[in-house]
Structure 1
Amino acid sequence: MTGLSLIRGAQPLPPLAVQLPLADAPRGRERRPRLYALDGIRLLAALMVALHHFAGTDRVDQPGNLIWDRPVSEIMPTVFHVATYGWIGVEIFFVISGFVICMSCWGRTPRQFFVSRVIRLYPAYWFAVLFTTGVLAAVPGVWERLRARDVLLNLTMLQSGSGVRNVDGVYWTLWSELRFYLLFLLVVATGLTYRKVVLFCCVWGAAAMLAPVSRLPLLDLVANPEGAWYFIAGLALYLMHRFGQDLLLWGILAMAWLMGQRELGQRIDEIEHVSSWRGAVLIFTAFLLLMVAVALGHTDRVQWRWLVTAGSLTYPLYLMHYAAGTAVISRLRDDMDARLLVAAIITGFLVLSWAVHRFVERPLAGAVKRGLETAFSRAARGGS
């Protein structure tokens, strides 16, 4: 994610304001505090996903599975029951992404938006693709290795659009994120305002509702009905944060919750199979309420600077943990206590994530940014 600082207006709207045209009024220049709480929530979501993949999926609870060799619910039943809900961390990521993308794009040009996304997404991703490919070559037996041509295509982050498998299964969320960025770029190009973002939420939400019954593959691809309402929730929350709450934004958020709870149930029925709908909805609702608290400024007192570092670990941790981590578990499962092994692997990936952020992301992001800005400047001059 990009930096979490923004502008606060001198006079926020009163609760449940109905003078919606005022929402596009110029804001003041006073800087709001960095949203440290978001960094903490992001890391918590990443840890939830990692724990789920290691000890809470339907796959690891099958007899003779390649990761643990026997049902993980027999090995560590308490951890399993907690970890079965960790997949909700992905939905949390999508909501936070909607919030942060809207925040980071406000007042930016499409060119700035494009550069910011490239330098944020690609450096750690390139490393993760090569790292995971190397680990799976060194520790075979759990995951099928991809052909070299497919690994190379993965470096584009566009493999899902070409029908090519991901090096690591968690990359499916990046395809959803990319489609969101392309759609939102259309709004960024016209200049972000309260009205335009609200209209975007309504149009995208309508398309996402129609896509499943339309039998139009292109509409389904663009509308992204599996993830749309989570991103929309994040956009509405950011508008609350910037302009103050009003009935329209609460309505969009309520619709996102209603559509989200349905998607949670579908995912449990079709993919996860290990958790209950009630538990998933309870966790998702608690998270949305926490995000409302962030949006309305109730967490501004959280000023723990270590959360900035914690937040920087989130993206590399998410990209690297799954395939490589489960492959390592398959080799060490008989040599260590299962709980200790999971804790050790997560800790190891946190350390590796810090190293990737410090020695890969930061240097490469600077170099790529300078290169892109030079290229865009040249293009603006007509190549002269």
Structure 2
Amino acid sequence: MSAVRAQNAGRRQPVYGLDLVRFAAASLVVLYHLGFKAWALDGSSLHGALGRSDAFPAGYALTWCGWVGVQVFFVVSGSVIAYSARGVSARRFARRRAARLLPAVLIAVAIALPTAVFVFGTATAQAVVLSLKTIAFVPWGPWIVGQFWTIPIELAFYAIVGVVLFSGAPERAMHALVWALGIASGAYWLVAASDAIEPGGRLAELLLLQHGVYFALGMLCARMGEGDLGRRHLGLAATCIVAASVQVRTAAEWEMGARTDLSAQWPWAYALWLCLAALIAASFLWRAQVAARIGRFGGVLRLAGLATYPLYLIHIHVGGTILLAAARLGVVPAVILAFAGTAAVAVAIALWFEPPLHAAIDAALRRIGQRVPRYRPAG
């Protein structure tokens, strides 16, 4: 088994199915914000700028629960980190993550700052402060990019994984981390289901109590791809899946607010999440077969995966601007144009703007790393 793991670690075969799920998750979030929240829910910047309300915008049955794409993202993140961090040093892991996160954030802020001021009417001083908070990765909001709220949660997960990789026995520690995340977060939500605690709060998010079940489930999906799951892991996966149903139900109430007519339909959102989580597991379980069959379409899927992160970060400011300009055409045409325009910009960022920034940041971090003494844990 160890020989197989070493071979897989060196080869790092692309998981093409994961790129498709990533893009689907980002699309869900985009369609939720542009196709439902902007029209139907008070309190959003887009709703205020749009200046009109429609409790049931055209296609709402397909868009109202798109927020569950975030829960899908967390499963994807857990699986990607578990798959890519194996056999990697803590230093290299930190450099990779920083070089992956920073470029898109810098580009998104460069887009969001002028858009917030000139399109959404945000005061210049406030927009600058929010931009600086975003660039500095301050974990408490607000931020210039509202959906940035998930990134510090990802960073909290990365920090724990970095500590695991820094330990003297990363394989054992990573195994323990899966259990710790799944049990702690699962217990949190199962206790919340009994009304013993009131779930919520930024601290619970940053401590991964709210979303740890998703990271743990993703890590289990990656282990499944290595043929490294036992019956006890299936029990942990079942616990995470049950706890996720409580989290999704609660998230539906948070997202919908007074719209109890829709929050009561949370099982549809949960079913959608469950299907995409199953696709993540299948992507790892049959990654070799998928890679052998997709042939020349592999590059397209990889590009879709790379465009997902910028798509997620820029869709309010790019897509929202298009939506406001096209709103007179009606909900469906405006949303289609906004989605297409945002996707085109995201692809351009992934193709032409992110790579040079990524290379520059990675090179700078390498130089910094060469000046820091290496620590080798005993044993």
User: Normalised by the shorter chain, which TM-score bucket?
Assistant: 0.7 to 0.9
Q: Deviations over 1:213-262 (max 9, x none)?
A: 599x9973653222111011001111111233321221221111011110
Aligned to 2:363: 370
Distance of 2:219 and 2:358 partners within structure 1? 26
Question: What amino acid is aligned across from residue 377 of structure 1 in structure 2?
Answer: Q
Q: Which moved more, 1:353-362 or 1:193-202?
A: 193-202
* Structure 2: gaps spanning 5 or more residues: none
> Is the Cα–Cα contact under 8 Å of residues 107 and 192 in structure 1 kept in the other structure?
no
Question: What amino acid is aligned across from residue 370 of structure 1 in structure 2?
Answer: A
Match of 1:253 among 237, 240, 248: 237
> Is the Cα–Cα contact under 8 Å of residues 49 and 120 in structure 2 kept in the other structure?
no
> Is the Cα–Cα contact under 8 Å of residues 318 and 342 in structure 2 kept in the other structure?
no
* Structure 1: gaps spanning 5 or more residues: 1-7, 12-24
Match of 1:180 among 132, 157, 175: 157
Question: What amino acid is aligned across from residue 354 of structure 1 in structure 2?
Answer: V
Aligned to 2:40: 61
Alignment of 1:308 with 2:302, yes or no, is yes
Residues matched between the structures, number? 354
> Is the Cα–Cα contact under 8 Å of residues 204 and 223 in structure 1 kept in the other structure?
no
Q: Once the two structures are aligned, what percentage of the paired residues are identical? A: 24
Match of 1:203 among 180, 186, 191: 180
Q: Which moved more, 1:31-40 or 1:185-194?
A: 185-194
Q: Which moved more, 1:246-255 or 1:201-210?
A: 201-210
Q: Which moved more, 1:266-275 or 1:191-200?
A: 191-200
Question: What amino acid is aligned across from residue 236 of structure 2 in structure 1?
Answer: I
State the SS of the aligned residue for 2:30: helix
> Is the Cα–Cα contact under 8 Å of residues 36 and 308 in structure 1 kept in the other structure?
yes
- Deviation, 1:184, is 1.4
Alignment of 1:229 with 2:213, yes or no, is yes
RMSD between aligned residues: 3.0
Distance of 2:342 and 2:218 partners within structure 1? 28
User: What's the TM-score, normalizing by structure 1?
Assistant: 0.83
Question: Structure 1 residues 203 and 218 mapped into 2: Cα distance closer, same or farther (>3 Å)?
Answer: farther
Runs of 4 or more, structure 1, over 4 Å off, are: 8-11, 25-30, 62-65, 191-194, 210-215
Alignment of 1:239 with 2:218, yes or no, is no
Aligned to 1:21: none
User: What's the TM-score, normalizing by structure 2?
Assistant: 0.84
Aligned to 1:121: 101
> Is the Cα–Cα contact under 8 Å of residues 249 and 266 in structure 2 kept in the other structure?
yes
Alignment of 1:340 with 2:333, yes or no, is yes
Match of 2:53 among 37, 49, 71: 71
Question: Structure 1 residues 219 and 150 mapped into 2: Cα distance closer, same or farther (>3 Å)?
Answer: closer
Q: Show the 5 A alignment for 1:323-362.
A: 323-334=317-328, 336-362=329-355
Aligned to 2:271: 282
Distance of 2:321 and 2:123 partners within structure 1? 11
Q: Show the 5 A alignment for 1:133-172.
A: 133-141=113-121, 146-158=126-138, 160-161=139-140, 164-172=141-149
Question: What amino acid is aligned across from residue 255 of structure 1 in structure 2?
Answer: T
